[in-house]
Amino acid sequence: MLARSQQAMASPDRMDAAYAQPLSLATSRPDGAVWLSLAVLAALLLSAGSVAAEPQTLRFQPHWVPQAQFAGFYLAKDRGWYQDAGLELEILPHGAEHPAPATLANEDADVALLYLTQALELREQGVDVVNVAQLIQDSSLVLVSLAESGILVPEDLYGERVSRWASFSLQPEALFRTYGVQPETVDQGATMAALRTGAVAAATATRYNELVELYLGGLDPDEIEVMPLEDHGVGLAEDGIYVLESTLRERPDDIRAFVEVSLRGWEYAFAHPDAAMDAVMDRVIRAGEPTNRAHQRLMLEALRPLYLEDDELRGPELDRQDYQLAVSLMRNLGHLEWEPVPYEQFHRDLAQ
């Protein structure tokens, strides 16, 4: 009972489980090799079969639980825009139990949303993923602390206990190294309870989820101190649309159509937040997520500046320098051993 209940408990806002999977991939090299061989095999099989098979169905794997982070995709599907573009889009069940990197590597999905670091880790494991559209160009990651603890600059972290997601330790580590501080780090759970109870002095958070959670937990903006990683040179690009290189080779039109329609969905979501909320809440309730409309609405508003600049979508190009920064950070911290592929091979601009 506890096990089951813990799973249920895990579902709302838990990131650790989701990133536990890619972490385990990254740390266990034999697994990586298996993935690689599986992927190659699958690619061969798929390319052989794709000539005969109807390329109508496209399986899409979002990388977290149903929430406003995927509003653009939900809306485009609900409006039938994928269908209009000749795609039968299947949004796969998503959440902690459905880690997107593994699903994509296993070819259980044709398209997946991944963080740039996750994609690079897949590459490290030999999975030839390709970025076909970068959605979030900036890092939404911040270090957050209660204002009363007086942590204003990275140096203040000295001797403090800081929690970070094991699968997301790269950027905080880079930050600590940059400023030469060595706080006590602990793995971060799914909620902000550790920060609120004082078990940790600072925690990692995304602007669109954990900061919203803190606000909706009754903390006013002036009661927390936010240290954006972006401001300290360790911010990395986040959500991007990824496919296997083989998939792109075999179904370039479907992928292009998917990207175009999805971007349209995002434009529409930001222009019509209420419609976006309806689409999001519909899935939230069906999935039994205990979140609420207020949280999702605030999430969408927090995503707005990450997606839009002057009311225009900033994507879908992946910035070359963002790519280089991610690569160098990961190499410096030992997260990448292999020489990564050149930018041109990693990111494909489908518009060309």
Partner 1 sequence: MNGRKSLAVRLALVTLLTTGSIFFISSGALYFMVRDIMLEHAEDQARELTHATANRIRSSLNEVAGSAQGLASALNSGQIRPDGLFPVLDDVTLQSDAVQGTAVTYEPYAADPDERYFGPFSYETPDGIERMNLGGDDFDYFTRDWYQIPALTRSGFWTEPFPSAADPDRLITTYSRPFFDPDDAEALRGIVTMDIELPALTERVDEVEIFDSGFAFLVSPRTRFITYPQRDWIMRESLFSLAETLDEPELRELGRHIQRTDEGFSRVPEVLLEEPARLYHVRLPEANWAVGVIIPERELFGDILRVMHWVLIIAALGFFILLGTITGISRGITRPLKGLASSAGEIARGNLDRPLPPIRTGDEVGQLAHSLDEMRLSLKDYINDLTATTAAKERMESELKIARNIQMSFLPKRLDLADLDVGIDLAARLIPAKEVGGDLYDFFPLREHNALFFAVGDVSDKGVPAALFMAVTKTLVKGIAEQDPRDPGEILARVNNELCLNNDNGMFVTYLCGVLDLGSGEVRLANAGHNPPLIRRADGTYDWLKLPPGLVLGAMEDMEYPVQTVQLGPGDALLLYTDGVTEAADGEQRLYDEDRLFELYGEIASRPARGQVDAVLESVERFADGATQADDITVLALRYCPRDEECAE
Q: Which residues bind partner 1 (CB under 8 A)?
A: 1-9, 16-17, 20, 24, 161, 166, 186-191, 193-194, 196-200, 215-218, 220, 288, 290-295, 297-298
Measured from the CB atom, is 284 or 326 closer to partner 1? 284
Smallest distance from partner 1 to CB 11, Å: 9
Smallest distance from partner 1 to CB 351, Å: 38
User: Whole-angstrom Cα distance, residue 8 to residue 289?
Assistant: 9
Smallest distance from partner 1 to CB 107, Å: 21
Determine contact, residues 109/127, Cβ cutoff 8 Å.
Answer: no
Cβ atoms within 10 Å of 198's Cβ, excluding its own: 11
User: Whole-angstrom Cα distance, residue 213 to residue 82?
Assistant: 32
Smallest distance from partner 1 to CB 103, Å: 15
Measured from the CB atom, is 44 or 216 closer to partner 1? 216
Measured from the CB atom, is 272 or 331 closer to partner 1? 272
Smallest distance from partner 1 to CB 305, Å: 18
Cis status of the peptide bond prior to 273, with omega within 30 of 0: no
Nearest to 79, CA basis, from 263, 279, 241: 279
Measured from the CB atom, is 17 or 226 closer to partner 1? 17
Measured from the CB atom, is 91 or 281 closer to partner 1? 281
Nearest to 178, CA basis, from 333, 319, 321, 331: 333
Measured from the CB atom, is 86 or 288 closer to partner 1? 288
- Give alpha helix (H) positions in the chain: 2-10, 16-27, 29-50, 71-78, 81-84, 100-105, 116-124, 170-179, 193-197, 210-216, 245-250, 252-271, 273-286, 293-307, 320-332, 343-346
Smallest distance from partner 1 to CB 189, Å: 4
